[in-house]
Structure 1
Amino acid sequence: MATVHEIEQRLFSWAPRESAMDWDNVGHLVGDPEQEVERILVALDITERVVQEAIDCGAQLIVSHHPVMNVRWHEREMQTLRPDTRLGGVLTTLVKNDISAICMHTNLDAADGGVNDCLAKKLGLNDVFLLNDEKIGRIGTLSCEKGLEEFLRDVIELLGCSGLRYRRGSGRVHRVAVGGGACSEYIPQAIAQGCDTFVTSDLRYNDFLDTRGLNLIDAGHFPTENVVCPAVKTYLEEHFPEVKTVISTSHRDVIQYYL
């Protein structure tokens, strides 16, 4: 039976640790590296509901995209380990139930076949190539040019968005950049590479205010990254066929829209 350490190393052969941003927290973050694994639960985030789902389905390991201890999101909470805080409750429940956690974050963003390739494929882009040297983001083309409203409808349907935010640029969509998650810093690179549209998330007011000549689409953090979970499941099944791997059914986008 495969161990947590063996699974971590196999995931690193797909998404090397060295390709993660230097601030990031990736790899095996919780649990015993020698623990044998019979069942894996795949999720975008490790939340209270995901941990309970792992307990209920008998998983010994959760493989997620976002680190359970995210140094950018949880800097203050990571100073303590208390069950009465959200993060502390998640970590103590994992430990008490002998459930390990492996997290592949910006290294999976950059990986071939990772988050951004999955996003580009989901949106129907062809001839896909790297947006930048960090390998965070991709550029591709649609098989035929579309109007912006038609493409917005496609994005909502294909990514399962509850809604989205956008700013009209040219109003036509053909050469598209994608950046799963928060990639606003790459707007200038998308423009410089001749893109007419950029699909990403977590855009700020000034991103919409200052951007010119580019259809700018904020499709949400969860929808633009959750596309990688089926790829993670497939990868694990190919390399560890003896381990049962399932995608979380309890984890979903926490952002809702009131219209």
Structure 2
Amino acid sequence: MTVREITRYLDSIAPPAYQESYDNSGLLVGNPDAEIKSVITCLDVTEEVIQEAIDKGAGMIVSHHPIIFGGLKRLTGKNYVERTVMMAIKNDIALYAIHTNLDNVEHGVNARLSERLGLKDTRILMPKGGMLRKLITFVPTKNVDEVLEALFAAGAGHVGAYDECSFRSEGVGTFRGDETTNPHVGEVGKRHSEDESRVEVILSFDKSSEVLSALKSAHPYEEVAWDMLKLENSLQTVGSGMVGELEEEMAASDFLAYLQNIVGGGVRYTQLIKDKVKRIAVCGGSGSFALGAAISAGADVFVTADFKYHQFFDADGQIVIADIGHFESEQFTIDLLYDAIREKFPNFATFKTAVNTNPILYL
């Protein structure tokens, strides 16, 4: 197995293009063509995790948080980041991070937390806008079906729970080729009129290159006319947080006890404004930015982490904020990554770290 085979698969389930602009997901250390015998999944990469990989003979570590975040100007071993990277390089261990791109997919970090909380009918809390594109092209009417097949196969045409979605309208196209051309129809040097269809399909922006390549391969013309438009529509399957329903209503105090039992840490929370709760919003990691969306979604409780003192006031009697801690809110990501790799490569040795990388200790 090569590092590239693992990264290609992980990139497919959480495309790097979905990461936030400040992030640094992807292969951070290592040769993508290096052969490896096993991989370890973890939340954070530390010197202890590198040593664990050495002891297990693992040539790759897949973490949620990137060890290199803001860039490294030197490697002198003066802090844990530099020491960890140096240790990985010295021992030929590849480091790959899958961070906010995994936060932003519907089967990612928040889905796993929602699953552990027993939430049903879940959906993305804050769908991302600007992620969609509309491709418009003009195809000889008799060739539309084969071109559409190619576009659909490349990933275009998905709208919510529907696929193979398109629109076409009929018209007449004209063109004239010079002496260097070899037109599919018509004659060189003469204007030709052809019955054509205007074809429109929706795609996510990360599929643009693949879809355009498929269009040009399937289209019969030498010169393919196309437009790619950026849409502000939200992509409902990509975005921050998740919201869903408990199977049954619970007393608010019982839910907090239930939550604490699942995550295994302390829970900081605001005033319990309702006797019963049912709709729960979650956002693994630092989620204060999603509080407004949780309130708008009608959530009774917002489960997240890293709220500052003054931010708790923003609950404002409209919702219960339950801050469970950053590590605690994302700890299930270790299992998520392990399960994903094992499902794809069942005969490849995959391990979950036994190192607790949470830097916060509790009395």
Q: Same fold (TM over 0.5)?
A: yes
What is the CA-CA distance between 1:204 and the residue it aligns to?
A: 0.9
Q: Secondary structure at the match of 1:138?
A: strand
Q: Secondary structure at the match of 2:245?
A: strand
What is the CA-CA distance between 1:114 and the residue it aligns to?
A: 0.8
How far apart, in 2, do the equivalents of 1:112 and 1:36 lie? Answer: 31
Deviates most, 239-248 or 88-97: 239-248
How far apart, in 1, do the equivalents of 2:79 and 2:341 lie? Answer: 32
What is the CA-CA distance between 1:169 and the residue it aligns to?
A: 4.0
Whether the 8 Å CA contact 1:115–1:225 is kept in 2: the answer is yes
Q: Which runs of 4+ in 1 moved over 3 A?
A: none
Deviates most, 135-144 or 226-235: 226-235
Q: 2:320 aligns with which of 215, 222, 241?
A: 215
Whether the 8 Å CA contact 2:112–2:333 is kept in 1: the answer is yes
How far apart, in 1, do the equivalents of 2:22 and 2:122 lie? Answer: 27
Whether 2:142 is the aligned partner of 1:143: answer no
Per-residue CA deviation, residues 51-110 of structure 1 (Å, 9 max, x unaligned), is 111111110000000001123xxx6xx232112321110000000000001100000011
Match in the other structure for 1:10? 9
What is the CA-CA distance between 1:143 and the residue it aligns to?
A: 1.1
Match in the other structure for 1:90? 84
Identity of aligned residues (%): 37
Whether the 8 Å CA contact 1:129–1:140 is kept in 2: the answer is yes
Whether 2:233 is the aligned partner of 1:128: answer no
Match in the other structure for 1:63? 62
Whether the 8 Å CA contact 2:106–2:123 is kept in 1: the answer is no
Q: TM-score, normalised by structure 1?
A: 0.93
What is the CA-CA distance between 1:254 and the residue it aligns to?
A: 2.2
How far apart, in 2, do the equivalents of 1:80 and 1:59 lie? Answer: 26
Q: 2:267 aligns with which of 164, 188, 206?
A: 164
From the CA coordinates, give the structure whose radius of gyration is larger.
2
How far apart, in 2, do the equivalents of 1:84 and 1:218 lie? Answer: 33
| Number of residue equivalences | 251
Q: 2:94 aligns with which of 97, 100, 104?
A: 100
Per-residue CA deviation, residues 163-192 of structure 1 (Å, 9 max, x unaligned), is 121112423321110000001011011101
Q: CA RMSD in A?
A: 1.2
Per-residue CA deviation, residues 122-142 of structure 1 (Å, 9 max, x unaligned), is 111110011012311000011
Per-residue CA deviation, residues 1-21 of structure 1 (Å, 9 max, x unaligned), is x21112111101000011110
What is the CA-CA distance between 1:248 and the residue it aligns to?
A: 0.3
Whether 2:358 is the aligned partner of 1:249: answer no
| Structure 2 portions without partners, runs of 5+ | 129-238
Q: 2:293 aligns with which of 166, 174, 189?
A: 189
How far apart, in 2, do the equivalents of 1:45 and 1:252 lie? Answer: 6
Per-residue CA deviation, residues 15-72 of structure 1 (Å, 9 max, x unaligned), is 001111011101111011111121101000001111111111110000000001123x
Q: Secondary structure at the match of 1:98?
A: coil
Which has the larger helix fraction? Answer: 1
How far apart, in 2, do the equivalents of 1:149 and 1:256 lie? Answer: 24
Q: TM-score, normalised by structure 2?
A: 0.67
How far apart, in 2, do the equivalents of 1:249 and 1:187 lie? Answer: 33
Match in the other structure for 2:151? none
Whether 2:284 is the aligned partner of 1:180: answer yes
Whether the 8 Å CA contact 2:282–2:302 is kept in 1: the answer is yes
How far apart, in 2, do the equivalents of 1:4 and 1:211 lie? Answer: 45
Whether the 8 Å CA contact 2:42–2:352 is kept in 1: the answer is yes
How far apart, in 1, do the equivalents of 2:127 and 2:343 lie? Answer: 29
Q: Secondary structure at the match of 2:83?
A: helix
Whether the 8 Å CA contact 1:4–1:35 is kept in 2: the answer is yes
What is the CA-CA distance between 1:210 and the residue it aligns to?
A: 2.5
Whether the 8 Å CA contact 2:270–2:320 is kept in 1: the answer is yes
Match in the other structure for 1:228? 333
Whether the 8 Å CA contact 1:37–1:243 is kept in 2: the answer is no
One-letter amino acid of the structure 1 residue matched with residue 287 of structure 2? C
What is the CA-CA distance between 1:111 and the residue it aligns to?
A: 1.8
